[in-house]
Each structure stands twice: as structure tokens, then as C-alpha cells.
Amino acid sequence: MSAEQSPRIVIVDESPIRAAILQEGLREAGYTGVVHISEMHSLLARIYALDPDVILIDLENPSRDVLEQMFQVSRAVRRPIAMFVDQSDAASIQASVEAGVSAYIVDGLRKERIKPILDLCISRFNAFAKLQGELERTKSALEDRKVIERAKGILMKVKGLTEDEAYVLLRSTAMREKKKIGEIAQSIITASEMLK
């Protein structure tokens, strides 16, 4: 694995000893672009500045406040995140899933486990991102359909067209203007509201 191919990985860990275990495991697995953040102050800004591909968060006995801070990072940064903790409870695990943590590992900090955990974390993140993308596209298609239906209704009423004629007019206008039908439909709705 060359340096160009190696993803940029940020380790968030206040303990230098534990961070060294993670760094060694990553180095042995061929990951070269590893940065360690040991200072929790303005963590989010520092992560944004580094713009990593993957984030590993290692917490010994996280308090509720620390966990919440990490979950805020997880929600804000759309990246694969693996969180290592020494002990946990069902509520923390549930909260981590809701915050978008890709892998939540309890008592699993051994360097030989790091590569498989990293692979799992990235594949889970990608699968989730793909699902999210599909959901966004479906939502957008539904919104478009609603807008098109409303615009057809306006055209039928104002121009005395049938539903099919209204759709043909929308489609031909979209083609002529080199725009999406949804955009043309939205323009018709906006114009009709202005003319009320």
C-alpha cells in the first residue's frame, strides 16, 4: 500500500500509550497517514482541518459528557468512525448508533484487531451512506412528483388542458429550456402564487 493510497486516519485519544497501540497496529497493517489528536479542546475544528478519511476514537472510561461530545463529532463529520471504549451500557451503544458511529468496540484494543475493525467500520459506513443516498433520491423523486402534479393541475385549470396535455407541455418546455420537469413545474407553481 503506497502513501498515496493510504487513507488519512485520525486517532482521538488522550492516552499516549493507548494511541501508540493503535498507531502500531495501523502501521503494521500498512496505514501510513495516521495523525494523533490528544487534546480534546476544539476537537471538531481540528478534525475538520485535518479532513481525515477515517476517525478512530479511543476512550477509557467515558463520562456521559465525553461520549456526547464524541457523538456530536460523529453527527457533524460524515466519515467512518470506530469508537473504542473499555466498558459500556446499552444506552451508550444505542446512542452511538443513532449518532452514526460505524463501529462501537467494547474492550477490544489489541493491535492485531485494528485492521479488521477498520475494514468493518469503512464497509458499514459505505453501506449506510449508500442507503442514505437512495433514501434522499427517493424523497427527492416524491417531492418532484408532488410538484409536477400541482403544476399539471394549474395548467389544466388555466389553459383548459387535459392531464396528458398538461404533462406533454411541461415535458416539452423542460426539454426546450434544458431543465428538469420538476424545475419547470416549480416555476409554474411560484408564478401562479404570485399572480393570485
Q: How many CA atoms lie within 13 A of 129 on its CB side?
A: 14
Rounded to two decimals, what is the model's pTM? Answer: 0.61
Contact yes or no for 161/172 (Cβ under 8 A): no
Same domain, yes or no: 143 and 56: no
Same domain, yes or no: 101 and 152: no
> Which CATH number belongs to the domain containing residue 168 in this structure?
1.10.10.10
Mean pLDDT of 137-160: 93
Measured CA to CA, the distance from residue 134 to residue 136 in angstroms comes to 5
Can you spell out the DSSP letters for 4-68? Answer: TTSPPEEEE-S-HHHHHHHHHHHHHTT---EEEE---TTHHHHHHHH--SEEEEEESS--HHHHH
Measured CA to CA, the distance from residue 96 to residue 67 in angstroms comes to 8
Q: Is residue 43 classed exposed, middle or buried when 0-12, 13-18 and 19+ CB atoms within 10 A define those classes?
A: middle
Banded pLDDT at 108 (limits 50, 70, 90): low
Same domain, yes or no: 102 and 143: no
Same domain, yes or no: 18 and 69: yes
Cell numbers linked to 146: 408532488
Same domain, yes or no: 54 and 92: yes
Q: Residue 182: give the domain boundaries.
A: 136-194
Q: Which of 59, 74, 109 is the last residue of a domain?
A: 109
pLDDT, position 71: 78
With b meaning 16 or more CB within 10 Å and e meaning fewer, what string describes 147-169? bbeebbebbeeeeeeeeeebbeb
Q: What are the pLDDT digits (tens) for 49-95?
A: 888 999 888 877 767 777 777 778 777 888 888 888 877 677 777 87
Name which of 116-125, 155-164, 184-193 the model is least confident about.
116-125
End-to-end CA distance of the chain: 64
1 pLDDT more than 70: no
Residue 114 is assigned to a structural domain of this protein: no
User: What is the identity of the amino acid at 125?
Assistant: F
- H helices then E strands: how many in the chain? 7, 5
Q: What are the pLDDT digits (tens) for 8-51?
A: 999 988 888 888 888 888 888 888 889 998 887 788 888 888 88
